[in-house]
Amino acid sequence: MSFQTFRIGQLFVIKITAQSGYSLSNIMGQDAVIIESNDGNFIRSVVISIRRHHQPEVYLKPIFIQNFTPKKNSILHGLIDGFIFGEDDVKGIEEKSKDIFIRSLDLHPHTPPGDYSKVIKKAMDLMYTRQVRTLKPILDPYSIIGYSFPQVSVSFEQHEEPEVLNALDWAEMEGLIWPDFEEKIYLCNNCAGGLLSFREVCPHCKSSNTYGEDLVHHFPCAYIGPITDFQNNVNDTLSCPKCNKSLHHIGVDYDKPSVLNHCNTCDSRFQDIYVKAKCLNCETDTDVQYLQARDINTYKLTKKGRQSILQGMELSNHPNKIEITDIQSEETFETLLQFDLLRKQDDRVLLCGLNIENLNDFATHFGGFKKQSIIKEIAQVLKGEISPLDYLTLNSSGLFIWTRRLAKEDLSEQQTPYDIVERIQQLVNENFDQFNMKIKFIEKELSELKNAHEGVVDIKRLLLNE
Ligand SMILES: [Zn+2]
Ligand SMILES: [Zn+2]
Ligand SMILES: [Zn+2]
């Protein structure tokens, strides 16, 4: 390798070019890095590999770019420490690098475990050493959501940008950063990608091969028809096909009340056109009303955030994701069920199961995220009504099994019917465009089961029609 090392004042500097090559261990021993190149992709890859490194001795290194100006919306602006175009700029390197070094001595060395703690600590370390006060989004055509947060995004691949948003949500939930609204964006409800192609499509056949024309209403004779009925091949004048009079002034003798659309594919005519968004990442085509809305914020450090840079992060104990508690794994479920079988029951206990048979249709219609959330919601409904002694298990393909204890007083003559299936169907129908969820429901008396495992296997077999 033929990279150059030299001194600027007391500073040891390494200069990297496209020809010189470099290794991160060479960089670790230097005080600053200069990248000289006119190849934006090369500069980008060097900067990202330095900033993506796990050791602060590397990822905090001052980086300067010589003889290159990145595009306005390049992630580089958020990741480098300055530009060199002449001798004066070289002098500035020494002061800036020393300053970054001195500030880096204040940083707390440890990171607590947590989904995104390393990523957020790195971003905050970069902010503190550079005296940057906010995590600001930039418009970034390389990002699949269209935005990057350079100090955070650098820890992820470009197609992982939705994870950047999760990391920021996590930091916000931990009270380290505080959001200031910048923009609302819409993301694919299947992959959370933000590069979407919007089209107006025919409501009947979903083709985008459509055209619209004005409807014209002729006041004197009350005729309404598409504007082509009023046109002629000779000149621009309009005349009424019903009464043959010429049309003069819009608003006086005629108006254009709406637009009539035609589909060239299925030849239908309609007034309301659908708008669909096709995801350039996963190709899912979604009605725009089902896209996920997401706020893009600029984030400020909170007091807790500033403290955690210097004194270490103290994370709260609440789980990182919103999870439903009291849902058992299938193993635990069987163990609990086995205990119940061995115990003499005062109550009548039922083993219930339901399976959503068209969950895949639901997911195709509304996306993978909505599929997760409907499973969560159904679990909430079930949990809300079972007794504290009951328990529930489920899987991601829409199969739920739970126990249901009927206390003696419930066994009276006017027992209310168990309408769980209807209630879930109604919930889905009301919230998801009248989607008709097909649900298979089975219940068995606990007293009829031989053992827990066979009971669970049996109910699954019945639910899946095997
Ligand atoms: Zn997608
Ligand atoms: Zn059509
Ligand atoms: Zn007319």
Ligand nearest to the CA of 282: 1
Ligand 3 centre distance from Cα of residue 260 (Å): 19
Q: How confident is the model at residue 319 (pLDDT cuts 50, 70, 90)?
A: very low
End-to-end CA distance of the chain: 65
Its pTM stands at 0.67
For the 1-105 domain, the top CATH level (class) is: alpha beta
The residue among 190 and 184 whose pLDDT is bigger is: 184
**In 10 A of CB 177, how many CB atoms?**
25
Alpha-carbon Rg for the chain in angstroms = 32
**Class for domain 327-463, per CATH?**
alpha beta
The alpha carbon of 44 and the centre of ligand 3 are apart by a number of angstroms equal to 67
Name residues whose C-beta falls within 8 Å of residue 446's C-beta, 6 or more positions apart in sequence.
337, 340, 341, 345, 349, 350, 351, 403, 455
Give the tokens for residue 359. 């969950």
Kindly tell me if the per-residue pLDDT of 408 is higher than 80.
Answer: no
**How many angstroms does the Cα of residue 364 sit away from the middle of ligand 1?**
12
- Which of 131-140, 324-333, 350-359, 385-394 shows the lowest mean pLDDT across its residues? 324-333
Q: Where are the domains of the chain?
A: 1-105, 130-202+276-315, 208-272, 327-463
Contact of 299 with 135, CB cutoff 8 Å: yes
pLDDT in tens, 133-186: 999 999 988 888 999 999 999 999 878 888 899 899 999 989 999 999 999 999
User: What separation in Å is there between the alpha carbon of 287 and the centre of ligand 1?
Assistant: 13
Distance 215 CA to ligand 3 centre (A): 13
State pLDDT tens for residues 320-345: 343 445 788 888 899 999 988 888 77
CA of 275 to the centre of ligand 1 (A): 16
